Amino acid sequence: MQKIDRQVAFTGTKDVAEPLRFDPAGLEAHLAREVPGFAGPLQVRQFKGGQSNPTYLLETPSRSYVLRRKPPGKLLPSAHAVDREFRVIQALAARGFPVAEPVLYCADESVTGTPFYVMGFVEGRVFWNPEMPGSNPRERASIYDAMVATLARLHSFEPAAIGLVDFGRGENYVARQVDRWSKQYRASQTQAIDEMERLIEWLPAHIPPAGPVRLVHGDYRLDNMIFETDSPRVLAVLDWELSTLGDALADFSYHLMAWHMPPDDTGAGTGSLVGFDLKALGIPSLADYVEMYRARTGFDPRPHLATYLAYNFFRIAAILQGIAGRVRDGTATNEHAAAKGQMVRPLAETAWRFAREAGAR
């Protein structure tokens, strides 16, 4: 299989895939009624990036918007909660945190076939490769500093202070996540992977002591952020589908996986820093990056980092197994979804390596 250039493959839009089409006229009429200042004609394109909730560019003569909707078809329990995404960006936008402008949420399935929300379109840069090819050491250092500063700011919010005290249970987050993703993995399983079986057995008995309860993003990484065109300023953090109240250290350690992500031959994975000369690139080492976060938050993942990484690599393996399940069921939203499914086994192997580092036998 030819290797994908992630920056090319995931940047921009394409014609809407046949299984994900809906009637633009119905949507245009709905937005004209509900959104002040909206006026057609409306053109709809599908973003190339995105794996779970289909995401569309809505263009009108005066303004562009972005629509995210639940995919059609049979879905895994509790997945694709676009109503929760909309609630989070509403809460964060009110506090000046960098998110796209929330415009409208619609639960009426007659408009596009599934519930959806609309947000403002944010013009800027998305870096699909964590090593940022074509950049320079000073810019990379600035981008990584802005990235960790933005996550630290997110983790500084007390949930009650931003109107999200009931957004999740918060306590026992990692244990509940292990249980959830074990079930999701089982529901979409397409092959036998010994390491996943061992992790499903080992993780529940080796949960790290609970970290501080905060709003967690759940998928915080470089390619889920939009940066200003000519500066490292973060304009918007995207893809809040997995957000909830939970363990800030679990959220941060998920973000650290890029430093250990198994490189894949297809380029369809989430990107990896493995094998790169980080010092020459201007990208902080994992140890330095952890210290940048600790200095800003006071939260220290290091005492249980191996266990957190075992959990997070297990979790992403289960998430990608869900994508593989949607390929099997014909409901995948991305043309590179099948290649992503090939990453489940190496991710599980990496998770088990960290579990062994944490004492598993």
Give the mean pLDDT of the chain. Answer: 91
Query: Residue 340 has what pLDDT?
Result: 67
Round to whole Å and give the CA distance between 40 and 63: 10
| pLDDT for residue 188 | 86
- Residue 209 pLDDT class (50, 70, 90 cuts): very high
Cα–Cα distance measured from residue 151 to residue 133, given in angstroms and rounded to the nearest whole number: 23
Q: What are phi and psi of 56, to 5 degrees?
A: -125, 145
DSSP state of 125: B
pLDDT digits (tens, 9 = 90+) for 239-262: 999 899 999 999 999 999 999 999
Residue 329 has pLDDT above 90, yes or no: no
Are the CB atoms for 241 and 80 separated by under 8 Å? Answer: yes
pLDDT at residue 234 in the model: 98
Mean pLDDT of 294-307: 97
Cis peptide bond upstream of 41, omega within 30:
yes
**Domains (ranges, CATH) in the chain?**
6-120 (3.30.200.20), 137-357 (3.90.1200.10)
Q: How confident is the model at residue 11 (pLDDT cuts 50, 70, 90)?
A: confident
d(CA 212, CA 136): 36
The answer on pLDDT for 57 being more than 70 is yes
Report the alpha-carbon distance of residue 196 to residue 351 in Å, rounded.
9
Closest of 283, 238, 289, 291 to residue 139, by C-alpha: 283
